[in-house]
Amino acid sequence: MKTDLKGLSARETEEWAVRHGLEPYRGRQIRHWLFTKLAGSSDEMGNIPKAIRALVRENAIINPLEEVKTLESEDGTRKHLFKLQDGHLIESVLIPERDHLTLCISSQAGCAMGCRFCLTGQQGLKRDLSASEIIEQVILVKRSLEDPEHLRNIVLMGMGEPLANYDAVMKALGNLIADDGMNFSHRKVTLSTCGLVPEMKRMGRDITINLAVSLNAADDETRSSLMPINWKYPLTTLIRACREFPLPNRRMITFEYILINNVNDRNQDALKLSRLLSGMRAKINLIPLNPSPNYDMTPPPMNRILHFQDFLVKHHFTAIIRKSKGRDILAACGQLTGAFAGNPEG
């Protein structure tokens, strides 16, 4: 059975090399070619002898994903559709920022969380991604760029709930931020969760990256109606875990708040939110709902969005209205389905 090398740690790659009769340093060389040089095959590993390249080709998986299609939005956002080896489809979104690029990657095919405002959640869960399938999204997109170093930020906000696929996500994150991996700064990597409290606590012990929490309501009745996970981990439990989450100096937890007309956008909702997060090192991303024929909900009018933001700012919160990019290609928040028009997943 072939080994999926991009899912291995540095030590595991050395052990794989030794099991195949090689010196440990050959494992380090192979890892360098995969994560730093972005080699697409063993044939590209120029300083490795031909016999070892053949051994890698025969015993290792190097390409766990196939890029099916790329769409580009009028605002420059690019959506990449990838096929897994079993035929399932996932999406990644490359977002242009002022002086860098941000890549939003998926951790599952589909999602089991069932949030009402998310098209991915309406599909249900198809399966978890492996560590190599998670990190390969970054590799393939980076390989497609004229200036790969322009990609500086990684966000796990694509398809799936990352903390529901904990072990594979942590292994992928380890390779993303490792000096001998892809060498992304841990300050530039963010994981977004709907609020799996036990896994949040594990994450706080296991790795240092940015945490974003999909909050979307400041009372249990409203949040439970939008996000079924709130029945299991209600706001009291979730916010306690957020307050206890270890934060390096000057780091904040980001709370994502999707604004929905006449659901969570009223004055009393802003007041409840300010009280809920009082005293926390928190940044609030306000995200107007991206409309869809699948929803019975709409975004609020802009004047109400601005009023909501103004209330939070006056209560000393950092509150940013996040412009959704890529709407015209269904690449914005909550719109990822693993299907393009004419290419539904079967």
pLDDT of residue 345: 42
Whether the predicted pLDDT of 337 surpasses 60: no
Q: Which of 104, 115, 118, 333 is catalytic?
A: 333
Number of domains in the chain: 2
Q: How far is CA 109 from CA 4, 38, 89, 162, 340, in A?
A: 19, 24, 7, 11, 15
Q: Please indicate, yes or no, whether residues 158 and 27 belong to a single structural domain of this protein.
A: no
Model pTM score: 0.92
Question: Per-residue pLDDT averaged across 198-205, rounded?
Answer: 97
How far apart, in whole angstroms, are the C-alpha atoms of residue 300 and residue 291? 11
| Residue 307, C-beta contacts closer than 8 angstroms, at least 6 positions apart | 267
pLDDT of residue 336: 52
Q: Which residue, among 278, 270, 193, has the nearest Cα to 243 in the 3D structure?
A: 278
Q: Whole domain around residue 37: which residue ranges?
A: 3-61
Q: Considering 11, 29, 61, which residue would you say is the last residue of a domain? A: 61
Q: Which of 44, 74, 91, 256 is catalytic?
A: 91
Q: Please indicate, yes or no, whether residues 17 and 166 belong to a single structural domain of this protein.
A: no
How far apart, in whole angstroms, are the C-alpha atoms of residue 80 and residue 179? 27
Chain centre distance of CA 20: 34
* Cβ atoms of residues 76 and 96 within 8 Å: yes
How far apart, in whole angstroms, are the C-alpha atoms of residue 215 and residue 195? 8
* Cβ atoms of residues 42 and 62 within 8 Å: yes
pLDDT of residue 74: 86
Q: Please indicate, yes or no, whether residues 306 and 195 belong to a single structural domain of this protein.
A: yes
CATH number reported for the structural domain that contains residue 57 in this entry: 1.10.150.530
| 334 domain residue, yes or no | no
pLDDT of residue 341: 38
Whether the predicted pLDDT of 237 surpasses 90: yes
Q: Please indicate, yes or no, whether residues 93 and 52 belong to a single structural domain of this protein.
A: no
* Cβ atoms of residues 226 and 115 within 8 Å: yes
Name the H helices within the chain: 10-19, 24-35, 50-59, 119-123, 131-143, 166-177, 197-206, 220-226, 229-232, 235-244, 267-276, 302-314
Whether the predicted pLDDT of 275 surpasses 70: yes
DSSP annotation of 249 reads T
Whether the predicted pLDDT of 211 surpasses 60: yes
- Here the tokens at position 256 are 């994502």
Q: Please indicate, yes or no, whether residues 85 and 178 belong to a single structural domain of this protein.
A: yes
Question: Per-residue pLDDT averaged across 324-344, rounded?
Answer: 49
- The fraction of the chain above a pLDDT of 90, given in percent, is 85
Q: Please indicate, yes or no, whether residues 25 and 105 belong to a single structural domain of this protein.
A: no
Whether the predicted pLDDT of 167 surpasses 50: yes
Instruction: Categorize the per-residue pLDDT at 327 as very low, low, confident or very high, splitting at 50, 70 and 90.
Output: low
| 335 domain residue, yes or no | no
Question: Per-residue pLDDT averaged across 157-169, rounded?
Answer: 97
Concatenate the DSSP letters of all residues of 86-127 into one string.
TS-EEEEEEEE-SSSEEEE--SEEE-SS--TT-HHHHH-EEE
- Here the tokens at position 30 are 């192979």
| 345 domain residue, yes or no | no
Active site residue 91: yes
pLDDT digits (tens, 9 = 90+) for 72-112: 888 889 999 999 999 999 999 999 988 999 999 999 999 99
Whether the predicted pLDDT of 325 surpasses 70: no
pLDDT of residue 72: 87
CATH number reported for the structural domain that contains residue 91 in this entry: 3.20.20.70
| 233 domain residue, yes or no | yes
Q: Which residue, among 58, 35, 33, 36, has the nearest Cα to 44 in the 3D structure?
A: 33
pLDDT of residue 249: 85
pLDDT of residue 331: 46
| Residue 48, C-beta contacts closer than 8 angstroms, at least 6 positions apart | 26, 29, 30, 33, 42, 56
Active site residue 115: no
DSSP annotation of 6 reads G
Please list the residues that pair with 213 across neighbouring strands: 193, 255
Question: Per-residue pLDDT averaged across 287-300, rounded?
Answer: 84
Q: Please indicate, yes or no, whether residues 164 and 90 belong to a single structural domain of this protein.
A: yes
Q: Please indicate, yes or no, whether residues 106 and 30 belong to a single structural domain of this protein.
A: no
Q: Please indicate, yes or no, whether residues 117 and 74 belong to a single structural domain of this protein.
A: yes
pLDDT digits (tens, 9 = 90+) for 60-76: 999 999 999 999 888 88
